[in-house]
Structure 1
Amino acid sequence: MDIHFFRPVKLIMAILYNKQGDPADFIPHLSRIFSPVDYRSPVYPFDHTHYYEEEMGFPLSRILLSFERLIFPDSLAEIKHLIRVVESIYSHGSNRNINLDPGYLDLDKVVLASAKYGRQKIPLKDGIYADPTLEFTRHDFRPFEWTFPDFSTELYYEDLRHIRVIYKHQFGRMAPVKIMGQGGFFISW
Structure 2
Amino acid sequence: MPLLLPAKRTTEVTGEDGLRGGSDEEDGGCGIDGSRKKLRLSKDQSAVLEDSFREHPTLNPRQKAALAQQLGLRPRQVEVWFQNRRARTKLKQTEVDCEYLKRCCETLTEENRRLQKEVQELRALKLVSPHLYMHMSPPTTLTMCPSCERVSSSNGNSAAATAAARARAGAGAGAIVCHPIDRATST
Could you say which structure has the greater relative contact order, defined with CA pairs below 8 angstroms and 6 or more residues apart? 1
- How would you bin the TM-score normalised by the shorter chain? under 0.3
Using the size of structure 1 for normalisation, the TM-score is 0.23
**Higher helix proportion, which one?**
2
**Higher strand proportion, which one?**
1
Structure with larger Rg: 2
Using the size of structure 2 for normalisation, the TM-score is 0.23
